[in-house]
Amino acid sequence: MKGTYQMLKRILTFSIVAMILTMGAYQLNATFNNQYAVWKENWGFSTPNPSKSQVIFEKTSSFLGRSLAYVVLDYNRKQFETIRYQGVWKTIDANTMQLLQEKIEEFSKDAKEKGHAKNKIFPKHPIQYQVGDLYFYKYNPERSSYFLAILDVRNHRLYTLETLL
């Protein structure tokens, strides 16, 4: 009887320790292997976890191909204030409206080349921005890649376009 009790105690202890380790490993994986951590590593752009995240388009590269991603993130007021006052943003003005439109068209063209019909991405999920909103743009000439983030101040929404070679 005593031996059975000891065996059950060991099994229960082992099970609890294994469950705690598994939960810890899962939490670490979720923390370090999410899209937002990748943006910070690749582009120096960090963002809090959003209230809602929607991957509109994602195409991973084939051999020597280009990866593309269009993601829309929604934030509550507290999350939005955290991201809005980071020092990475530039204000959208009349001059930068053209740059942003060119980058969106470039992304749309790349998406079409990847087999996604151009007319399905942006009309269904338009990037809404105007003068006074904020943007972050970073280009990597070594990889011919870029990251564009547009922060819609009125709707607390972040639009991101990323291309990686």
Check if the beta carbon of residue 137 is closer than 8 Å to that of residue 103: yes
Residues 46, 16 share a domain: no
Residues 121, 64 share a domain: yes
Listed as ranges, residues in the chain with pLDDT below 70 are 1-2, 18, 21-34, 61-66, 114-120
The confidence score (pLDDT) of residue 32 equals 40
The confidence score (pLDDT) of residue 3 equals 72
H helices of 33-93, where? 35-43, 77-84
Residues 84, 11 share a domain: no
* 53-64 per-residue burial string, b: 16 or more CB within 10 A, e: under 16: eeebbebeeeee
Residues 60, 16 share a domain: no
The confidence score (pLDDT) of residue 29 equals 44
Q: What is the extent of the structural domain holding 5?
A: 1-33
Residues 16, 69 share a domain: no
Measured between alpha carbons, how far is 117 from 121 in angstroms, rounded to an integer?
Answer: 7
The confidence score (pLDDT) of residue 144 equals 82
Query: Which burial class, exposed, middle or buried, applies to 80 when counting CB atoms under 10 A from its CB (0-12, 13-18, 19+)?
Result: buried
Q: Give Cα separations from 165 to 1, 69, 71, 72 (angstroms).
A: 65, 12, 18, 21
Q: How many domains does the chain have?
A: 2
For 92, other C-beta atoms within 10 Å of its C-beta total 20
Residues 29, 88 share a domain: no
Residues 55, 15 share a domain: no
Query: What's the alpha-carbon Rg for the chain, to the nearest Å?
Result: 22
Residues 64, 21 share a domain: no
